[in-house]
Structure 1
Amino acid sequence: MLGVVLWADIDDRKAVIWCEDHGNLAYYTAAEQNVHEGIDLDAGDLIQFDLREDRDVRRARNLRRVDAGYAPTIVHELRNRGPRGSSTAENVVCFPEARRAG
């Protein structure tokens, strides 16, 4: 699965990821992984990962950064969308049409 990092805490090595399937957000915690598998993430990074669903939580594992800074304004764009209850068309934020490293 591909996703864009919406929030990351470098010290705690945690992140919240917006998934390309537009399902629920995925959560990443490096503590759940082998110490050598964790990577430092920043908001806007495009990553590829394995998705595991635990009850009501989606968890990202085996992360690989595809493109650092892929969507640098994504958090700003999401914050500035219309208020809840606006039409869906006004609230849709698409994955950027930027390059995908291969």
Structure 2
Amino acid sequence: MSTKSSDGSAVRRHPVGVDCTVSVPRNAAGDLETGVRDRLGGADGVDAVEEVDLRGIRPGLNDLTVTVSASLVVDDGAETAARLEDRFGVSEVEVELRTGPP
């Protein structure tokens, strides 16, 4: 899968599977899945959040900590874990690079 960058060169897109923990503020707009999608989709290099499977939830005083399994499309599969963990509220990231559909 590839698209064109702003300078016209091809940019390779990588499907990846991600298991992680995401903190979603209690006052976030939308439902819990929307909060997780916003958190993951806002990371550098994440082009799309295709699927989200909420595996577990732990309530906190100001947020909900969610164990998540997700399918993402990213621009650099090797950097995905670091980029996601750079996002506030995302931790314990494990990435599985995929060569085909999930």
Which structure shows the bigger proportion of residues in helix conformation? 2
- Larger RCO (alpha carbons 8 Å, 6+ apart): 2
Which structure shows the bigger proportion of residues in strand conformation? 2
In the superposition, the TM-score normalised over structure 1's length comes to 0.26
In the superposition, the TM-score normalised over structure 2's length comes to 0.26
